[in-house]
């Protein structure tokens, strides 16, 4: 009989592409992954891999098995969720991927709520960029991803992920307060020629911000680049830069900067996504409910 563990390794190889990537994702050694895949090939009795240098290409049989393994893992998740529903208590571990703004503005209150309402529930949180956290959730690296979407920039869609809206926040131009050289900034176009701080180029927020500046008639002078939005705030407050910031950055504090409205009053969407096979899991449902409750408190 085929072992589920080996079938999962095959499915991971199909989605991640290399043995090294599979090993890193599952905390195995590459040699252990290779040994398990070789054992699976012997059990199946037909070739599963075509070796090309250091890479393993999957045969037609291997692709079939990987797809069936995905269905099998989803079915196991549904069974496990059903068992937890019948237990009558919310317990276990939920692995969450979240971006920085949510971790600072929302998660502390969510964790306090869950600790009170469900003391047997454990939440493991990793700060992860939304661009890759979706894939990791689909690949079963996380149970839940909290992600963002900027106007006109749809995120990559993965089949089998159940997406639910969480909140929306306004995006505004943030400029230093109380500094004469920035007092004349009343529109986005007024920020032409000023120093900017933006997220790295791979981020959707960076692409959106650059396009918005270009639509206003200028190329932003990006002198500072960091994914840390708290660093954005400090650079602005200290008079070194301007930036486009979403409202959740200011949650729980009074920003020492000036906010300028943008044309069309753009909104960023924040949402959660989880595998549909875990949609009825009581632990996952509890986390989503707590997120929704705290997001409602923060909503303007």
Which residue carries 């979706």 as its tokens? 134
What SS3 class is residue 157?
Answer: coil
Give the separation between CA 268 and CA 248, rounded to whole angstroms. Answer: 10
What mean pLDDT is reported for the chain? 90
Beta bridge partners of 222: 196
What percent of the chain has a predicted confidence (pLDDT) above 70? 99
Contact by Cβ (8 Å): 173, 188: yes
Rounded mean pLDDT, 174-193: 93
Confidence of residue 106 (pLDDT cuts 50, 70, 90): very high
Query: What pLDDT score was predicted for residue 238?
Result: 94
Structure tokens at 137: 């959730």
Confidence of residue 54 (pLDDT cuts 50, 70, 90): low
Q: Could you tell me the CA-to-CA distances from 151 to 141, 170, 186, 265, 300 in Å, in that order?
A: 28, 11, 22, 10, 19
Structure tokens at 243: 């930036």
DSSP 253: S
Taking 60 as the threshold, does the pLDDT of residue 300 lie above it? no
Largest CA distance in the chain: 76
What percent of the chain has a predicted confidence (pLDDT) above 90? 54
Which of 86-95, 103-112, 221-230, 234-243 is least confident? 86-95
Confidence of residue 231 (pLDDT cuts 50, 70, 90): very high
- Within 13 Å of residue 24, how many CA atoms lie on the same side as its CB? 7
Q: What is the dihedral of CA 278, 283, 286, 290, to 10 degrees?
A: -100
Sorted by sequence, the CB contacts under 8 Å of residue 148 that are 6+ apart come out as 99, 101, 130, 204, 205, 246, 268, 269, 270, 271
Angle CA(112)–CA(113)–CA(115) in degrees, nearest 5? 65
Sorted by sequence, the CB contacts under 8 Å of residue 291 that are 6+ apart come out as 106, 110, 146, 166, 272
Query: What pLDDT score was predicted for residue 50?
Result: 86
Label residue 52 exposed, middle or buried (CB < 10 Å: 0-12, 13-18, 19+): exposed
At 198, give phi and psi (nearest 5°): -140, 165
């Amino acid at each position: 009989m085929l072992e589920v563990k080996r079938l999962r390794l095959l499915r991971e190889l199909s989605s991640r592409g290399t043995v090294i990537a599979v090993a890193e994702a599952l905390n195995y050694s590459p040699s252990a992954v290779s040994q398990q895949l070789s054992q699976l090939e012997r059990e199946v009795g037909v070739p599963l891999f075509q070796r090309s240098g250091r890479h393993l290409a999957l045969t037609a049989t291997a692709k079939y098995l990987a797809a069936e393994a995905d269905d099998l893992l989803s079915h196991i998740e549904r069974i496990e969720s059903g068992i937890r529903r019948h237990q009558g208590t919310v317990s276990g571990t939920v692995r969450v991927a979240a971006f920085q703004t949510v971790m600072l503005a929302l998660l502390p209150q969510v964790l306090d709520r869950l600790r009170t309402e469900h003391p047997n529930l454990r939440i493991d949180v990793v700060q992860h960029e939304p661009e890759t956290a979706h894939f990791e959730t689909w690949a079963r690296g996380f149970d839940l991803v909290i992600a963002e979407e900027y106007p006109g920039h749809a995120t990559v869609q993965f089949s089998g992920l159940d997406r639910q809206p969480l909140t929306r926040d306004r995006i505004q131009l943030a400029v230093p307060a109380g500094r004469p050289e920035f007092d004349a900034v009343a529109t986005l176009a007024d920020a032409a020629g000023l120093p900017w701080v933006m997220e790295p180029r791979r981020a959707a927020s960076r692409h959106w911000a650059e396009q918005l500046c270009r639509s206003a008639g200028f190329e932003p002078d990006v002198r500072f680049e960091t994914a840390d939005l708290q660093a954005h705030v400090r650079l602005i407050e200290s008079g070194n830069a301007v930036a486009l910031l979403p409202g959740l950055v200011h949650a729980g504090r009074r920003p020492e900067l000036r906010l300028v409205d943008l044309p069309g009053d753009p909104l960023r969407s924040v949402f959660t996504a989880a595998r549909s096979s875990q949609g009825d899991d009581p632990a996952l449902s509890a986390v989503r409910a707590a997120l929704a409750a705290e997001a409602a408190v923060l909503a303007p």
